Structure 1
């Protein structure tokens, strides 16, 4: 046992080890989803997070050490998000033709997310700080955390809520829209971008280029809108 602990302590600080663990966990998630017939309920992201978290807890590895070792993956998130602009550029004409509907859907989604988040915290007796952390959760994680810090929330809590929200949107979003007979990829993409941010948007992008374009639009515009609407609502809110 002592030898194993010593070996792990030696390897645990090696960036390559944690990169392999992370990629292997996501690969396992993809394999499990395929084995389940492609169901969105077997989300590769959720499975990978569960596996990696279990390994971190089991090996008593500090999250800061893990994060430092996987900076390369974190760096790739930026180019991956920017790459969503490619299908968006190819769909400029469709975006212009649907500006009114996009604007209404974006406003409704953003405001509903903010009000419902604050309302849930208030309903269950949560503190103002938790409510402020909940308010910007629908935006992409970096924007949500920045807005949370600006209005007096807890950025780390907001980031966790944004990630959980993204996973939930990826798991149930497409199934829910399909059952409501919404089969337009523009709607699927915009809903993923507004409600689920990058995680749900990536799932849509893997299935349809038009959906990817509207998902990218939803992520960008919702981030801007959250940065304006949430501080304004908090300024007017006297709870």
Structure 2
């Protein structure tokens, strides 16, 4: 039975969608940030593969079809930004300054932690692109000599944590301005955090979408400079 399921072209897609739907149901029922749908789905898939002794490659042969949707989904992030074009024009200087601050903060924190924990150069550059989208982060890590697979894991963890904690941190630090919320979320936790920003409001989602692209470009340049420090 297990072999028959694994041989199905859409086995990975079905398991992924069911796991995510379970996460959505738990989030709606309990409402706690820890019940993040993405986090739940990752845990469920890992447990499922381990319990039924299913090879990851067999799972990914089907699940990879979901990856094809990443590009059009990313392009769709331009829609809320277009709808908030007037707000972007009026606050362009503050927005760019906020994104730059977010990128520099991320890189500086990684540098500080690397010095505190005495990380070698490879592990240090592996962590530098933690706050940008996976596609760009993988390229940065590979170019600087980092461990790409660990970079991917760190990027996902950063995004999930941003998604879980974004709203709570905004309330804790009394950040009420929608533009500020969107910039902080997008520059710190890329696309996964942006999903939360869109739940918070249209302006938040639009600014977070913008931050993904700009922060990615700035990090490519900034990471190359910071890589020389260790």
- Per the TM superposition, whether the score is higher than 0.5 is yes
Task: Give 1:210 deviation, angstroms.
Answer: 1.4
Deviations 1:192-226 (A, max 9, x none): 21111111101221342211110110101001101
Q: 2:204 aligns with which of 197, 211, 215?
A: 211
**1:225 matches 2:222:** no
Residues of 2 paired with 1:143 and 1:231: CA distance? 13
Residues of 1 paired with 2:104 and 2:212: CA distance? 15
**1:145 matches 2:138:** yes
Mean Cα deviation higher: 105-114 or 181-190: 181-190
State the TM-score, normalizing by the size of structure 1: 0.91
Contact 1:169 1:192 in 2 (8 A): yes
Task: Give 1:125 deviation, angstroms.
Answer: 2.6
Q: Could you say what secondary structure the match of 1:206 adopts?
A: helix
Contact 1:122 1:131 in 2 (8 A): no
Name the residue aligned to 1:12: 6
State the TM-score, normalizing by the size of structure 2: 0.95
Contact 1:166 1:199 in 2 (8 A): yes
Residues of 2 paired with 1:185 and 1:41: CA distance? 24
Q: 2:16 aligns with which of 15, 18, 22?
A: 22
Name the residue aligned to 1:4: none
Contact 1:18 1:66 in 2 (8 A): yes
Deviations 1:147-200 (A, max 9, x none): 000111111111110000000111111111112211222222212211111111
Contact 2:179 2:203 in 1 (8 A): yes
**1:27-46 alignment runs, 5 A limit:** 27-36=21-30, 38-46=31-39
Residues of 1 paired with 2:39 and 2:141: CA distance? 24
**1:110 matches 2:95:** no
Contact 1:193 1:219 in 2 (8 A): yes
Name the residue aligned to 1:75: 68
Mean Cα deviation higher: 95-104 or 25-34: 95-104
Contact 2:133 2:212 in 1 (8 A): yes
Residues of 1 paired with 2:50 and 2:115: CA distance? 32
- For this pair of structures, how many residues does the alignment match? 230
